[in-house]
């Protein structure tokens, strides 16, 4: 087997090992379950309020947007935070020291990121199908739509998350990542129709994946009548694929460049310096 094949196998084993560790760790499981549980409770209490002009509950209408947001966060926040932490603790340096180690490392991160995104979605999706009226998967086509939106969303967001993580070596900088992401969530129609916002705000929201992931999830999980409150009164699949496709191209072009640059700068002295700074902050 060639060197790339060995690296891929090592990356798969690494990714599966991280997933097993997460599923057997109480604190990790709690962090995974906390936000979905709160989401389900809030959406359940909103089940009796309906969108203007429809009989669709606010909870059912908001749930797909929340699913899209979780997929985006798994790719953007999960991957970037992992890179920042593992640069600081020396994991990345150890991967770099192995032939094709960085390639295997990235394969592992892709597996973990894809699992996190799918798990975050399923934890909310499955109970929501039983708890909320109007929130359902009625056909094979809906399942297929859900699958390709999930796949496209992860492919679009994980490289961007890797780019963000490669630009910072301090996990405490995650607040600088979360603030703009939360701002995008606020304007992306996750919790209410985006058509209620000014036109220029709608334009900004449509430049980023969170809005399109929410729209794709709504198209799979809500009745066709729900499209009446969307921009243009339709699900706009062509535009959805186009915007997410642009993010995929941008990520696949620039993520490898930034990751190679980051790997070249890693050394024992830089890892030691980060640890010293972290210890000084603790003291």
What are the pLDDT digits (tens) for 73-122? 888 888 888 888 777 777 777 777 777 777 788 888 888 888 888 888 88
Residue 132: the pLDDT is: 78
Domain, as residue range, for 209: 3-271
Residue 279 lies in a domain: no
**If we measure between CA atoms, which residue out of 165, 127, 168, 148 comes closest to residue 240?**
148
φ/ψ of residue 50, rounded to 5: -120, 155
Name the DSSP letter for residue 78. Answer: I
Among 89-103, 117-131, 190-204, 245-259, the minimum mean pLDDT is found in 89-103
Helix (H) or strand (E) holding 48: none
Residue 283 lies in a domain: no
* Structural domain count, the chain: 1
Q: Cβ of 73: how many Cβ atoms within 10 Å?
A: 21
Name the DSSP letter for residue 7. Answer: H
Helix (H) or strand (E) holding 226: none
Residue 282 lies in a domain: no
Residue 281 lies in a domain: no
pLDDT band per the 50, 70, 90 thresholds, residue 268: low
For residue 45, what are the contacts with CB-CB under 8 A and spacing of at least 6? 59
The percent of the chain in helix, strand and coil, each rounded to the nearest 5, is 80, 0, 20
């Amino acid at each position: 087997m060639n060197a790339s094949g060995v690296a891929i196998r090592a990356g798969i084993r690494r990714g599966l090992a991280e997933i097993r560790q997460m599923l057997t760790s109480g604190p990790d499981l709690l962090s995974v379950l906390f936000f979905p549980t709160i989401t389900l409770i809030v959406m359940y209490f909103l089940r009796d309020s309906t969108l203007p002009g429809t009989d669709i509950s606010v909870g059912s209408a908001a749930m797909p947007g929340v699913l899209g947001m979780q997929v985006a966060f798994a790719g953007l926040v999960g991957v970037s935070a992992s890179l920042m932490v593992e640069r600081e603790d020396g994991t990345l340096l150890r991967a770099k020291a192995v032939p094709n180690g960085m390639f295997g490392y990235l394969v592992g991160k892709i597996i973990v990121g894809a699992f996190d995104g799918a798990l975050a979605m399923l934890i909310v999706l499955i109970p929501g199908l039983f708890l909320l009226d109007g929130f359902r998967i009625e056909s094979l086509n809906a399942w297929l739509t859900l699958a390709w939106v999930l796949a496209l969303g992860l492919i679009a967001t994980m490289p961007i998350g890797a780019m963000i993580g490669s630009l910072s070596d301090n996990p405490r900088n995650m607040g600088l990542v979360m603030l703009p992401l939360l701002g995008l969530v606020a304007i992306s129609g996750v919790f209410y129709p985006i058509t209620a916002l000014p036109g220029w705000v709608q334009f900004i929201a449509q430049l980023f994946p969170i809005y399109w992931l929410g729209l794709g999830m709504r198209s799979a999980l809500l009745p066709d009548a729900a499209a009446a409150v969307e921009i243009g009164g339709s699900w706009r699949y062509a535009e959805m694929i186009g915007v997410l496709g642009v993010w995929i191209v941008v990520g696949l072009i620039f993520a490898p460049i930034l990751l190679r640059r980051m790997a070249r700068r890693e050394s024992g002295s830089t890892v030691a310096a980060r640890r010293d700074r972290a210890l000084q902050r603790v003291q």
